[in-house]
């Protein structure tokens, strides 16, 4: 079955540590995204990538880093510079930006990061 796999589902981190969240898709989608969800807030865009070896900052990129070395993979690193990293992180993909159609995002199941 095609889809997006995020791992780990739950992750605990001590302050000052970097952690990397994995996101893999087998949908052959060109574009991939990372969103963060906090209670009472909508999903906020962290980073996105339209093509391999290229990515752009979203609205809240500070304290995060990404790479896009392969089409199917878009890992997110939460660095120690991120002041409030405890959140639910969602990876998504789509066929691309497209000039027509809604270009629906397909989401993974998410990763919950807790900083101790």
Least CB distance from residue 114 to other proteins, whole Å? Answer: 13
| Distance between CA atoms of residues 84 and 25, nearest Å | 27
Strands 87-94 and 64-66 come out as unpaired
| Distance between CA atoms of residues 104 and 93, nearest Å | 9
Nearer to other proteins, 9 or 70 (CB): 9
Q: Does 104 bind other proteins (CB under 8 A)?
A: yes
Least CB distance from residue 6 to other proteins, whole Å? Answer: 8
Which residues, numbered 12-71, are part of the site for other proteins (CB under 8 A)?
Answer: 31, 33, 35, 40-45, 48, 50, 56, 58
């Amino acid at each position: 079955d095609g889809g997006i796999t995020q791992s780990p589902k739950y992750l605990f981190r001590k302050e000052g540590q970097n952690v990397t969240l994995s996101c893999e898709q087998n949908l052959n989608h060109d574009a991939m995204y990372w969103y963060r969800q906090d209670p009472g807030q909508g999903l906020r865009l962290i980073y996105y990538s339209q093509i391999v070896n290229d990515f752009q900052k979203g609205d809240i990129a500070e304290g995060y880093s990404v790479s896009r070395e392969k089409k199917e993979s878009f890992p997110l690193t939460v660095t120690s510079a991120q002041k409030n990293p405890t959140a639910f992180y969602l990876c998504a993909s789509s066929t691309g930006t497209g000039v027509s159609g809604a270009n629906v995002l397909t989401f993974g199941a998410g990763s919950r990061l807790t900083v101790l």
